[in-house]
Amino acid sequence: MSTAGNVLTDALRQIRKAQRLSQLELSLRLGVSQRHVSFVESGRAKPSRELLVTWLQELDAPLVLRNEVLIMTGYAPLYSATALSDPALEAINQALDQLLAAHDPMPALVIDAQWNLLRLNRGGQWLAATLLPWAADLAPSAPMNLLDLLIHPEGLLKPVVNLGEIGPALLSRLRQEAMAQPAIAPRVKMFAAQLGDRLGSTPLLPGGAAPTAPVLTTRYATRHGELAFFGMFTTFGTPQDITLASLRVEHLFAADAATYAVLKAQVELPSTPDQHP
């Protein structure tokens, strides 16, 4: 089997296992025999384009990975990857700006599948400057990646008070994402190593002790006192473009009244236009 064939079959197996599906379960979903699924995954059979598209859809594979698998199999890619700056995405950009502005003074940020930081609201800018004052010296055009900021010695992990609680859970999530986004795997490995150094012999596995709150909360030590946040994500429903499928907006919410008071006092919001004639 060629190298490309090995990559293809490995990808199909990994995606299926990430979804915790057996070959039998997948074959029932696809309406084909388990033998055919096995033959495709081993490189002994080539699926039709229609079957492969359905196969990847059933596995909920990222759109970029679907295109790569189609190309590796000799088929034309199915999904476009429109630049976010393209005029065709004007409505999308307006929606993103609206989400960010509406969440002020609480932090909100737009990131892609590789954790590149694309956009911040005012609350997010304030929190970034508070947690990472040295980042202000970076060139404005320098790309910012949140995983790089996590593994930086003076990065986002340093002020975290409850790293033993949130670190293993974040690592588990990143490892899951790396299965679908292999490009982030080296950074995830570095994050795991740094987490191990910081936590020592603490197991890097989530679970164990019973949760003490209904949602995982990250607590930061800052010059304004301890700030606590929990997060929610907004994504586009049924995106049909690779760029849109990769985007997500992370909204941070104050986990206590003290955090809310600090953000409300510190984040300068645009003044409301005078409505009087």
The domains located in the chain, with CATH, are 3-72 (1.10.260.40), 87-266 (3.30.450)
The amino acid present at 150, given as its one-letter code, is: L
Band of residue 44 on the pLDDT scale cut at 50, 70, 90: very high
Report how far residue 251's alpha carbon sits from residue 274's, in angstroms, rounded to the nearest whole number.
Answer: 29
DSSP strand pairing (108-111 vs 248-254) = antiparallel
What is the C-alpha to C-alpha distance for residues 86 and 74, in angstroms, rounded to an integer? 29
Decide: 96 and 249 in contact? Cβ < 8 Å: yes
Cβ within 8 Å of residue 40, ≥6 positions away: 9, 12, 46, 47, 55
Query: pTM for the full model?
Result: 0.80
| Mean pLDDT for all residues in the chain | 88
**pLDDT of 209-254, one tens digit each?**
555 557 789 999 999 999 999 999 999 988 899 999 999 999 999 9
- The tens digit of pLDDT for each residue in 24-36 reads 999 999 999 999 9
Q: What are φ and ψ of residue 16, in 5° steps?
A: -65, -45
Residue 123: Cβ within 10 Å count: 24
